[in-house]
């Protein structure tokens, strides 16, 4: 109610006023500020961080709180020493408390305000409920001295229709509780009288009319009659939605009983009425009343909702504040509860409003329990708000396009419950998990929607490969139930959440298929960074019990564990030399065959991964091979592998090497104990599979008479670099694209621009920064030559820095300048860009006619540049000037 009261107040205050707002729910305050900002009228709204800040400089402070303890705590903070030294106590400051609490507590707070001379305190509880608060038709019962009525009344009338002055402070609450005590009794009496007449055979409409024109007439009989069809507009005529809830009625009745005891007033019916309300609350059908109820144990049968979240969901706090009916998302909750009620279920669970997300502990418990809650539900209603099922023939195609099948959380909501009923946007039943099973399997790639638990890790991960979640971490958290694991939530950890999930999974599994993934952005990880890496693993299946004929499937699986050296695992290893078809661009690779799997359409195909052996100069690791994995999964024909291994063994023996394979690996196929390290524990290069394209813009150089000398080859170590012309640009100054194949470490390219008149040559060096943790992948260096030459016996070989092999990166920078012979200067700037599919980096070469050195190189880089300029001539005696 407080939200809607504040909306009406803000709209009617002049624009010169400022309205400070505070609530323990920051999201609600932010929402209020955004909503009122859009109106561009009424008082300015300022969100504050605490109640003291809200009240300190305000002329009038209005509080609306649920319980007496809340009122006392709030005013305890307000009346503490001021926040600022400049604050001067204002004895005329007005406090209006609209909470419904007991008069004694209200008087206690009033005395504290008055005794500290910090203002005037009045009580003004209201009647009219959420409807009245929204419409601005509330009735306020004011307890205040006569001198304050004229000051308070105009403020209350901005939020309501009537103000009844009941007397001095506390009188408003006394009047409110006396009225609500009578209402509580009349509610029971009206319900019993209507039930009695109906048991005697009277028509309820006739009986209701009789009572309302006779002496038994009261508000529950004439306005809020509990029987359907008696009074239009009553909650009973709306399937009992809205109205004054049982819990609120019980609360006010209890406050009236307490106040009566303090006043020495005898209430014969009070305690008995309280018992009636408590019993009714326990028996209440919550799918009818749409009120929240908490169960610690003995959870009753319930329905559960699966849906896509929108930006206008009804949250837990919204229901607590009676704001639910005013929000667009309420219709979805209403539809779920209506369907549950029609199916005979008294309770329904909806994640958006049944989890208090302001409590991190409750949120963590809920997410860790989510799979169980869906599994234990009697029925799951899958609400597809982007499907219209009016045309039954079009339903299959519309289901294929529904976003519900693309969300991460809906995967467990599909698989966990036994019964899933699908509804379109109008709550039209369009089928069940059983009746639509074949279509759903086609959409999701899940063959068996009921007996899916025996699927291997890789296959389960593949079901989530093309699904998405709003938060990156949720892509891991939404899969915990599928693998029956639990872990704490750490929002902000990014893809580490998915890696933690995999580590939790392997703690209780010997399933090696968690390694069956591919990530073209190879970072040398043991674990995949997202389910997307498993998109090609949907065809992997566990071997049946009788599939033990091949070497790779013989014997039991062995446990694997995470250690400080990496993943300790036993794996079938085959040197890549034995499999000529497998090459990873020069890397020394091995093939690790995953134990106990085949592909669904080819019994002979076995998943495998590529491994790099780490050469460690220490005897510590002699008994335990250490590898880093290349992030590619492939499928091999096991018969073909065995045949090629046999050929390779024969060749090794013929060469006099019968006892070993390549490196430390024995004759294949053999199971060996190995360690998989996330990245090399020795100083090797960082490889990231794929390529990086760099645009080089040299138009400024071109205007000074320099042109690209394309006849001079790039520096090429293992074929890392290549040169292409860009499609953009004009004339001879067409920008060039240089491409770096990131599988090759320790390499740099040199590009030459020659002045046709002076023969001066500008050399641009671009080096791969092999410090893979750095966000800057490349560095640049600049140098100049008086001329370029060819040697007698070969084309000129561009220089390679000795630092390439002695350190992890070539010395360079992303901004650098160099002086030209004619007094001008050339500068190179390297920038990473986004939103371009053709290249990811741009190097701009610019000439400054004044010779300004915009980005001076360091001493070490100067040495590198000097070396670059002189080592060009380190070959045979030059004979030809280019």
Residue 684's pLDDT is what?
Answer: 37
- Residues 407-412 have a mean pLDDT of 95
Query: Which pLDDT value is given to residue 584?
Result: 55
* Known active-site residue 792: no
Closest CA to 31 of 327, 351, 360: 327
| Token pair 């592909």 in the structure block, residue | 599
pLDDT band for position 77 (cuts 50, 70, 90): confident
Cis peptide leading into 204, omega within 30 of 0? Answer: no
Domain ranges, ordered by start, for the chain: 2-168, 177-282, 286-452, 455-538, 545-677, 691-881
Three-class SS state of 395: helix
H/E stretch holding 647:
helix 638-654
Q: How far apart are CA 279 and CA 271, in angstroms?
A: 12
Residue 29, pLDDT score: 84
Question: From CA 128, how far away is CA 539, in angstroms rounded?
Answer: 62
- Quick check: 236 and 226 in contact, CB under 8 A? yes
Measured between alpha carbons, how far is 748 from 765 in angstroms, rounded to an integer?
Answer: 7
Residue 483 has pLDDT above 80, yes or no: yes
Region of 162 on the Ramachandran plot (φ > 0 left; ψ -120 to 50 alpha; else beta): beta
Question: How many CA atoms lie within 13 Å of 428's alpha carbon, on the beta-carbon side?
Answer: 12
**Among 822, 821, 841, 845, CA closest to 831:** 841
Instruction: Considering the candidates 20, 120, 176, 644, report the single residue annotated as catalytic.
Output: 176
Range scoring the smallest mean pLDDT among 162-171, 575-584, 756-765? 575-584
Lowest mean pLDDT among 86-90, 535-539, 640-644, 856-860: 86-90
Res 685: pLDDT: 37
Question: Vertex 680, ends 832 and 613: CA angle to 5°?
Answer: 125
Q: How far is CA 506 from CA 93, 503, 772, 794, in A?
A: 64, 5, 28, 57
pLDDT score, position 59: 92
Q: How far is CA 731 from CA 702, 707, 727, 838, in A?
A: 10, 11, 12, 21
Tell me which of 544 and 874 has the higher pLDDT.
544
The confidence score (pLDDT) of residue 687 equals 40
**Each residue's pLDDT tens digit, 17-67:** 999 999 877 777 888 888 888 777 899 999 998 888 888 889 999 999 888
Give the pLDDT score at 460: 95
> Residue 618: pLDDT band by 50, 70, 90 thresholds?
very low
Partners of 96 in beta bridges: 62, 122
Confidence of residue 726 (pLDDT cuts 50, 70, 90): low
Beta-bridge partners for 675: 568, 626
Whether residue 842 has pLDDT greater than 70: yes
pLDDT digits (tens, 9 = 90+) for 810-836: 567 889 999 998 899 999 999 888 776
Q: How confident is the model at residue 869 (pLDDT cuts 50, 70, 90)?
A: low
Note the pLDDT of residue 317.
87
Over 80: is that where the pLDDT of 275 sits?
yes
Identify the band that residue 767 occupies on the pLDDT scale cut at 50, 70 and 90: confident
Pairing type for strands 736-741 and 721-725 reads: antiparallel
Return the structure tokens found at 167.
Answer: 């007397």
Mean pLDDT highest for which of 26-40, 167-181, 304-318, 533-547? 167-181
Q: Decide if pLDDT at 403 tops 90.
A: yes
3-class secondary-structure state, position 764: strand
The predicted structure's pLDDT at residue 606: 85
pLDDT band of residue 561 (cuts 50, 70, 90) is confident
Query: In the structure encoding, which two tokens stand for residue 330, read together?
Result: 């309420």
Q: What percent of the chain has pLDDT over 70?
A: 80
Average pLDDT over residues 782-797: 54
708-724 confidence digits (pLDDT tens): 875 444 544 445 566 66
pLDDT on residue 733 = 67
Could you give the maximum distance between any two Cα atoms of the chain, in Å? 125
Q: Which residues pair with 123 in a beta bridge?
A: 97, 143
* pLDDT surpassing 90 at residue 178: yes
Q: What are the residue ranges of helices labelled H in 377-518? A: 395-401, 409-415, 437-444, 457-463, 474-477, 496-507
Give 163's DSSP letter.
E
Specify the pairing of strand 670-677 against strand 566-575: antiparallel
SS3 152: helix
Neighbours of 232 (CB within 10 A): 8
Share of the chain above pLDDT 90, in %: 38
Instruction: Please check whether residue 627 is in contact with residue 611, taking contact to mean a CB–CB distance below 8 angstroms.
Output: yes
What beta strand segments (E) does 68-174 contain? 94-97, 120-123, 126-127, 138-143, 160-167
Topology annotation, domain 177-282: 1.10.1040
Q: Are 840 and 833 in contact (CB under 8 A)?
A: yes
Question: What does pLDDT average to over the chain?
Answer: 81
Q: State the Rg of the chain over Cα.
A: 38
Query: What CATH topology corresponds to 2-168?
Result: Rossmann fold (3.40.50)
Question: Using CA atoms, how far apart are residues 579 and 610, in angstroms rounded to an integer?
Answer: 12
Q: What is the pLDDT of residue 212?
A: 94
Nearest Cα to Cα of residue 637 among 586, 673, 601: 601
User: In angstroms, what CA-CA distances link 668 with 512, 513, 568, 574, 646?
Assistant: 19, 21, 20, 5, 8
Give the best-scoring range by mean pLDDT among 643-652, 696-705, 715-724, 741-750. 696-705
Half-sphere exposure of 616 (CA within 13 A, CB side): 21
Are the CB atoms for 727 and 839 separated by under 8 Å? no
C-alpha 287/C-alpha 341 separation (Å) is: 6
Q: Span 413-423, mean pLDDT? A: 94
In the predicted model, what is the mean pLDDT of residues 372-389? 94
Does the pLDDT at position 301 exceed 50? yes
Q: Which residues pair with 691 in a beta bridge?
A: 741
Reference 740, options 761, 763, 715, 764; nearest CA is: 715
Select the more confidently predicted residue: 349 or 599. 349
pLDDT of residue 287: 60
575-585 b/e (C-beta count within 10 Å ≥ 16 → b) = bbbbbeebebe
Q: Give dist(CA 83, CA 85) in Å, integer.
A: 7
Beta bridge partners of 2: none
**Cα–Cα distances in Å, from 23 out to 13, 15, 81, 340, 524?**
20, 23, 21, 33, 48
- Smallest Cα–Cα separation from 632: which of 570, 714, 690? 690
Q: CA angle 305-307-310, nearest 5°?
A: 130
**CA-to-CA distance for 372 and 543, rounded, in angstroms?**
29
Q: What angle do CA 803, 808, 814 make, to 5 degrees?
A: 85
């Amino acid at each position: 109610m407080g939200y809607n009261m504040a909306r009406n107040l803000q709209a009617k205050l002049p624009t010169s006023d400022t309205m400070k707002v505070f609530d323990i729910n920051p999201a609600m305050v932010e929402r209020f500020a955004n909503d009122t900002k859009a109106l561009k009228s009424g008082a300015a709204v300022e969100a504050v961080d605490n109640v003291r800040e809200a009240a300190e400089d305000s002329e009038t402070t209005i509080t609306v709180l649920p319980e007496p303890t809340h009122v006392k705590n709030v005013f305890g903070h307000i009346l503490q020493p001021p926040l600022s030294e400049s604050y001067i106590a204002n004895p005329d400051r007005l406090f209006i408390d609209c909470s419904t609490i007991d008069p004694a507590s209200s008087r206690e707070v009033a005395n504290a305000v008055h005794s500290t001379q910090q203002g005037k305190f009045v009580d003004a509880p209201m009647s009219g409920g959420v409807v009245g608060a929204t419409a601005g038709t509330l009735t306020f019962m004011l307890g205040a001295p006569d001198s304050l009525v004229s000051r308070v009344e105009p403020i209350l009338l901005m939020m309501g229709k009537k103000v009844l002055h009941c007397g001095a402070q506390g009188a408003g609450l006394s009047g409110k509780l006396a009225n609500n005590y009578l209402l509580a009794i009349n509610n029971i009496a009206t319900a019993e009288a209507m039930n009695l007449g109906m048991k005697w055979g009277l028509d309820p409409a006739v009986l209701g009319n009789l009572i309302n024109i006779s002496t038994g007439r009261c508000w529950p009989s004439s306005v809020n009659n509990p029987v359907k069809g008696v009074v239009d507009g009553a909650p009973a005529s709306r399937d009992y939605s809205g109205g004054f809830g049982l819990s609120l009625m019980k609360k006010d009745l209890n406050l009236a009983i307490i106040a009566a005891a303090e006043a020495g007033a005898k209430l014969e019916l009070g305690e008995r009425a309280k018992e009636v309300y408590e019993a009714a609350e326990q028996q209440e059908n919550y799918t009818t009343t749409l009120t929240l109820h908490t169960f610690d144990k003995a959870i009753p049968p319930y329905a559960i909702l699966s849906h896509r979240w929108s930006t206008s969901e009804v949250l837990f706090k919204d229901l607590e504040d009676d704001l639910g009916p005013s929000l667009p998302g309420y219709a979805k909750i209403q539809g779920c509860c209506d369907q549950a009620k029609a199916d005979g279920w008294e309770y329904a669970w909806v994640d958006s409003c049944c989890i208090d997300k302001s409590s991190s502990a409750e949120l963590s418990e809920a997410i860790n329990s989510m799979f169980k809650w869906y599994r234990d539900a009697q029925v799951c209603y899958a609400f597809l708000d982007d499907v219209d099922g009016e045309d039954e023939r079009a339903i299959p195609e519309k289901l294929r396009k529904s976003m519900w099948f693309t969300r991460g959380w809906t995967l467990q909501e599909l698989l966990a419950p036994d019964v899933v009923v699908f509804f379109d946007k109008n709550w039209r039943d369009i089928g069940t998990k059983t009746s639509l099973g074949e279509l759903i399997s086609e959409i999701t790639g899940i063959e068996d929607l009921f007996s899916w638990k025996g699927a291997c890790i890789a296959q389960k991960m593949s079901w989530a490969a093309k699904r998405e979640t709003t938060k990156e971490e949720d892509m891991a958290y939404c899969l915990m139930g599928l693998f029956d694991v639990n872990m704490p939530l750490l929002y902000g950890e990014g893809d580490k959440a998915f890696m933690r999930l995999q580590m939790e999974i392997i703690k209780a599994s010997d399933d090696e298929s968690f390694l069956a993934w591919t990530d073209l952005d190879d970072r040398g990880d043991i674990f995949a960074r997202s389910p997307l890496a498993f998109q090609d693993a949907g065809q992997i299946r566990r071997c049946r019990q009788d599939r033990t004929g091949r070497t790779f499937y013989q014997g039991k699986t062995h446990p694997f564990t995470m250690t400080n050296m990496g993943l300790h695992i036993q794996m079938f290893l085959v040197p890549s030399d034995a499999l000529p078809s497998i090459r990873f661009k020069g890397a020394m690779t091995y093939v690790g065959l995953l134990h106990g799997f085949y592909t669904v359409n080819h019994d002979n195909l076995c998943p495998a991964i590529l491994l790099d052996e780490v050469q460690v100069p220490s005897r510590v690791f002699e008994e335990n091979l250490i590898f880093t994995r290349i992030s590619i999964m492939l499928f091999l024909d096991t018969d073909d592998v065995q045949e090629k291994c046999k050929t390779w063994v024969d060749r090794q023996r013929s060469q006099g090497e019968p006892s070993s394979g390549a490196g430390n690996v024995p004759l294949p196929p053999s199971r060996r104990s190995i360690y998989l390290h996330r990245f090399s524990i020795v100083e090797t290069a960082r490889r990231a599979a794929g390529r990086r394209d760099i645009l080089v813009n040299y138009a400024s150089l071109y205007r000074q008479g320099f042109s690209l000398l394309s006849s001079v080859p790039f520096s090429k170590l293992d074929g890392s670099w290549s040169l292409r012309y860009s499609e953009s640009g004009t004339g001879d100054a067409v920008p060039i694209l240089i491409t770096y194949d990131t599988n090759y470490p320790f390499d740099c390219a040199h590009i030459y621009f020659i002045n046709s008149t002076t023969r001066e040559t500008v050399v641009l060096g671009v080096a791969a920064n092999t410090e893979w943790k750095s966000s800057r992948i490349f560095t640049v260096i600049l140098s100049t030559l008086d001329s370029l030459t060819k040697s007698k016996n070969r084309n000129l070989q561009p220089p390679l820095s000795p630092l390439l092999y002695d350190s992890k990166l070539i010395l360079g920078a992303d901004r650098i300048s160099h002086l030209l012979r004619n007094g001008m200067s050339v500068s190179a700037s390297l920038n990473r860009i986004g939103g371009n599919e053709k290249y990811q980096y741009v190097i701009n070469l610019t000439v400054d006619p004044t010779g300004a050195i915009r980005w001076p190189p360091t001493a070490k880089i100067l040495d590198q540049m000097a070396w670059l300029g002189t080592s060009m001539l380190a070959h045979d005696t030059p004979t030809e000037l280019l």
